[in-house]
Amino acid sequence: MSEPEPLQELETIAEASASGIAQAGSTEALEQQRVHWLGRKSRLMEMMKLIPQLAPEERGLFGKRANEIKRAIESQLADRRVAVGGVSQAAAYDRTLPGQSFSQGSVHPLTQTQDRILEIFTAMGFEVADGPEMEYEYYNFDGLNIPADHPSRESFDTFFVDLPSPEPKKGKLLLRSHTSPVQVRVMESRKPPVRIVVPGRVYRRDALDPGHSFMFHQVEGLLVDDKTSFADLKGILNLFLRSLFGPDTQTRFRPHFFPFTEPSAEIDIASTLGSDGGSSFARKRWVEIMGCGVVHPNVLRKVGYDPNKVQGFAFGMGVERIAMLRNGVKDIRAFFENDLRFLEQFQGGK
Ligand code: DAH
């Protein structure tokens, strides 16, 4: 006699177990039935162990049916246990009871905000790029028109890395203090037009307080083309901020200085945080949200672009600050403490 087909054997088990269980008249008899049909040495369990050895086309069907039968046996055992009086209805398998919930992970609130920012820009045709967190002095400073003796180097209180530089011509190694160096890297590696957004971690020697952290996240943007103007920059960034914070968001472009842009501006939005904010940052009505400007001709020249032929604009923003405003979070440190009571509040958000 040949071996029965595995699927056919499953059906035999399904039928035999149903009638065996229905005939069991005591708790003890039911326990014997359980061991016989579902125990470690039962035929069903043996067959299930062999699933990985089946041909791929048989595996799915067989596995599905075997699991169905296993569950059917479990539920018949539970029903029969109630019938023979071994357990009260409540303690038995009661399928009307709500299931047991288990905790589920969620996307970190900073990642949610970063994803949302990138989503708005990619919808406008920007491409996502990235660059290294450990950077050469050249890309962090010189390539961005910040020469060694420039006072604005001090405003980026930089962590230098105590390793010999593999390319001494590009200066020392450091932890990048902004995402702007990726502008230079991308422009060096391709011809215009360029339209990128760059998310990433940045580092500064700042003391921890409700508004500062020595590591935080930025999203950088750069657009270079043959016809761009400050009006395009304002249009795109207003559209971005209204997509992110809502159509009624008030913005204000305030003249500012950045070495890598000319003219430059900082953009403020009217704060949505109440006056009960614990930090001075949270109490301000206008909150600085990003820096921007028209790419400085020196920056274009250094990467071999001709400033008479192409122009561009750039912008950079802090993800933590935006996430704080969007979610009413008043202390930046909350993002890094990994307290589940904090993180669980962001389940399912974006
Ligand atoms: N890199 C600047 C900072 O970290 C932010 C910034 C300002 C980036 C203006 C830009 C820009 O691209 O155009 O403070």
The residue assigned the tokens 């160096």 is 181
pTM over 0.75: no
Taking CA atoms only, the protein residue closest to ligand 1 atom 7 is: 291
What's the pLDDT at 98? 84
E strands, 141-243, are 173-175, 194-203, 215-225
CA dist 4 and 51 (Å) reads 16
CATH superfamily of 109-346: Bira Bifunctional Protein; Domain 2 (3.30.930.10)
Q: Are 206 and 198 in contact (CB under 8 A)?
A: no
Distance 146 CA to ligand 1 centre (A): 12
- Answer whether residue 283 shows pLDDT above 60: no
CA dist 64 and 106 (Å) reads 29
Taking CA atoms only, the protein residue closest to ligand 1 atom 2 is: 316
Taking CA atoms only, the protein residue closest to ligand 1 atom 12 is: 315
Residues at CB less than 6 angstroms from ligand 1: 178, 180, 220, 258, 261, 291-293, 314-316
Pocket test for ligand 1, best of 152, 180, 257 (most atoms within 8 A of CB): 180
- Domain range annotation of the chain: 5-92, 109-346
CA atoms within 13 A on the CB side of 218: 26
CA dist 215 and 289 (Å) reads 17
pLDDT digits (tens, 9 = 90+) for 43-95: 999 999 988 888 888 888 899 999 999 999 999 998 888 888 766 555 667 77
CA dist 328 and 348 (Å) reads 17
Distance 219 CA to ligand 1 centre (A): 9
Question: Regarding beta strands 173-175 and 194-203, do their DSSP bridges make them parallel or antiparallel, or are they unpaired?
Answer: unpaired
Distance 162 CA to ligand 1 centre (A): 26
